[in-house]
Chain A
Amino acid sequence: MDSAQYAELFLTESREHVSAMNHALLALEQAGDAGGVVAGDQVSAIFRAVHTVKGMSATMGYTAIADLSHQLESLLDRVRRGALQVSPQLMDLLFRSADTLEAAVEEAVQGRDAPPGTASLLDALRTFSRTSGGMTAIPAPTTGSVWSVEVPDGDGVGIRVRLVRDTPLRGVRAYLVVEAARRLGTVTAISPSIGQLQAEQFGDDFALRLVTDDVEGALAMLRSAGDVADAVLAESAPEMFDLLALEHAGPGLVPGGGSAGPRVQHHVRIDLRRLDALMNLIGELVITRGRLVQLAMAADDVALTETVAQASRLVGDLQDEIMQSRMVPVGQVFDRFPRLVRDVARTLEKQVAFTIEGTDIELDRSMLDEIGDPVMHLIRNALDHGVESPAVRVAAGKPPQGRLTLSAFRDRSAVVVRVEDDGRGIDRARVIARARERGLIHGNGADLTDDDVVKLITRAGFSTAERVTDISGRGVGLDVVVAGVRSLGGSVDVRSTPGRGTSVTMRLPLTLAIQRSLLARVGGETYALPLTHVSETVELTPETLQAVKGREVLVLREDVLPVLRLRELVGLPRSAQADPEQVVVLETADRRAALIVDDLTTQLEIVVKQFDGVRGGSTLFGGATILGDGAPALILDVSSLL
């Protein structure tokens, strides 16, 4: 069987099981010694996860993983039976095992050897088992081609049975053979005893006495009992190991067997690349649809227009279905964070209560793969720079245990992900000092608002860590996170109150490839505004536009919004036309602004084409798209505007 086709399936499922294992380990650790039933459940859950990985890896031929999970399983079995107590040493070993198992799975699928440390972990697992009570040794089976047992005394004919060498679970096989004999007549004696057979305390062969009318028939039945190399009458001369006997158990399958019942299957696993290909195709189709709609309108043919409208709707439905099939709950990525928080908090000697909310919120698979790292960095940053050590917290009048919350929720055509802590907040003085050092600002920064200070952190080239720590070091500061999220068409907002905490909010489109956008026209050119960042549109009336401290603002109901003019942004003179201009209210995670444009044409699904290699140029646009009439349109990067 070609194992390669199962590798992907193996990877996906093993990851899930390692994740489940980590969850159960955390719960087990929290339950502690007083865990009782909870602890028992968790140990069983870990055991199941490890057991399943073992079975899969052995099938795939990944022997290193199979060995590791086998040792782990033995250890867990002892814990489950109460022979081994849950101790901090055991927990450390189990956590380490989960990590190694995870790494080994990834390596194995890539066709590489087990990660370094696997051998020493195996030793550690074995040593732990030994020092904590010892393992029961399973006697090695004696093998040979001569009969090793005497036929016991008793009524009936003596029958010798030899199992195929290396029969898996030969104790059970022997038991099944004896059971088969019992159905054929009366078994009066067995050697070795049935108990010894079950315990695999025998060589390759055993003997029994059977009272039956049809000796030849009985022998034939026993030979076909499975894994039986031979079954002979004891009175006949000992025979050599006969491979031909194997053929008795050979397959002779009846194709088309099985019932004609209904086929029940609710899930199909699809290669992600196939979904990506579908997504690309639907993207092209969406562009073509735009062109088709325009052509049909120009042709002024009712039948054609109706047909195109219907085809257009169908394309829309098709797109929805494909998008839906790519959606996965964020929990799939969030699931690994409790373990991360535990490890990081432990290293930093901080106490943290970690909460996750909205794990069932769905995102496009490609988007989800991309946000894992940014969220991880935010969590590490929060633990490293945000949450204080217990002593500092108590001194500041806070409870010693910090709070860290990761939440996700849906907001119209966007998904919002937030990381929030109740730590010390962003240190204004340090940020300003660092910004000056980096040449991002000049002067003492006294005129900067708190908001401006927070924005500095997200500027490229800024990093708050004074030393590169193991935790959030490696040069991944908030500026890098922000750049990453923006390249996905999302935005990041940071809010911080000194002494009270920090929250970082990401607003993300549901998918990478296709974005519903509003098309705005300015000076004969079309620009796309992704709906992820559009809150509403209003018509501009003179009375809503006011000047505050020399800056233009728009008064919208209760809100006062800063005003941006697209004409100015793209370097055109102000419009002299009398037509009422349109206002688009833009929003990122926490900010809003009013963008004034000449005209709004339509809402459209656009296929986002990222810019290649024009880094350092204009940050005003996040990409480009091709409209229905074949004309290109630039996509406004809303987060760079606000």
Chain B
Amino acid sequence: MLICDDAIFMRTMVGDILQQAGFEIVGEAETGVQAVEKYKQLRPDLVTMDIVMPDMGGIDAVREITKFDPGAKVLMCSAMGQQALVIEAIQAGAKDFVVKPFQPSRVLEAVQRVLG
């Protein structure tokens, strides 16, 4: 799993949820640019991607990652009120989304769906 979010708080929380469910966190990224780099380097099974990040936003990062690996599994992390952006992210190649505030069960369900 690769966790991309500009807030350590969010990365920690998502990381804890995933780790407690037995997943392994192989990396974290704070910006879209980092997310793309780390994806290429680590080839994670799943990426959680924040939409609003400095440098390169989450949507552009999804686009870049999908260009590099069409089979990439990206789960968008969004806030209420971002429907247009989430749809854009899905059109860019993201597989599913979760909405903040995160409930562990919802995050894990979404992860499970994406991993199929």
Contacts and interface: CB of A to CB of B under 8 A. Distances in A.
Contacts of B8: 9, 13, 267, 269
A559 to B, nearest CB: 50
A61 B53 CA distance: 23
B7 A261 contact: no
A536 B113 CA distance: 69
Given A253-B21, A261-B42, A172 B97 contact: yes
B56 interface: no
Contact of A264 (B9, B27, B84, B90): B27
A611 interface: no
Interface in A99-113: none
A48 B113 contact: no
B109 A249 contact: yes
Contact of A250 (B23, B53, B109): B109
B52 A252 contact: no
Nearest to A200: B83
Contact of A259 (B22, B26, B84): B26
A498 interface: no
A226 B109 CA distance: 8
Interface stretch (A50-58, A155-163, A420-428, A623-631): A50-58
B28 interface: yes
Interface residues of A, number: 53
Contacts of B86: 169, 172
A205 to B, nearest CB: 18
Contacts of A17: 7
* Interface range on chain B (Cβ under 8 Å from partner): 35 or more
B45 A264 contact: no
Interface string A1-28: 1000010011001000100000000000
B74 interface: no
Interface string A253-283: 1111111111111010100000000000000
A198 B112 CA distance: 24
Given A172-B90, A176-B96, A258-B1, A55 B26 contact: no
Nearest to B103: A1
B12 to A, nearest CB: 6
Contacts of B99: 168-169
A177 to B, nearest CB: 11
Contact of B100 (A47, A55, A225): A55
A40 interface: no
B70 interface: no
Nearest to A224: B113
B45 A258 contact: yes
A56 B115 contact: no
A167 to B, nearest CB: 9
A172 B95 CA distance: 12
Contacts of A256: 22
A271 to B, nearest CB: 13
Given A6-B12, A51-B52, A256-B22, A169 B82 contact: yes
A179 interface: yes
Interface string A43-72: 001011001101110111100000000100
Nearest to A256: B22
A198 B21 contact: no
Contact of A54 (B28, B54, B79, B112): B79
Contacts of B38: 264
Contacts of A258: 1, 23-24, 26, 44-46
Greatest chain A CB density within 10 A among B9, B87, B100 is at: B9
B100 A169 contact: no
A241 interface: no
Given A175-B87, A176-B96, A251 B109 contact: yes
Interface string B22-40: 1111111000000000100
Nearest to B84: A198
Contact of B22 (A6, A52, A61, A255): A255
Contacts of B112: 251-253
A264 B80 contact: no
26 contacts: A6-B13, A13-B7, A17-B7, A47-B52, A51-B52, A51-B79, A52-B7, A59-B101, A168-B80, A169-B80, A169-B82, A169-B83, A169-B97, A171-B87, A226-B110, A251-B105, A252-B112, A253-B21, A253-B22, A253-B112, A255-B22, A258-B1, A258-B44, A261-B44, A263-B26, A264-B42
Interface of B: 1, 6-10, 12-13, 16-17, 21-28, 38, 42-46, 52-54, 78-84, 86-87, 90, 96-97, 99-102, 104-105, 108-110, 112-113, 115
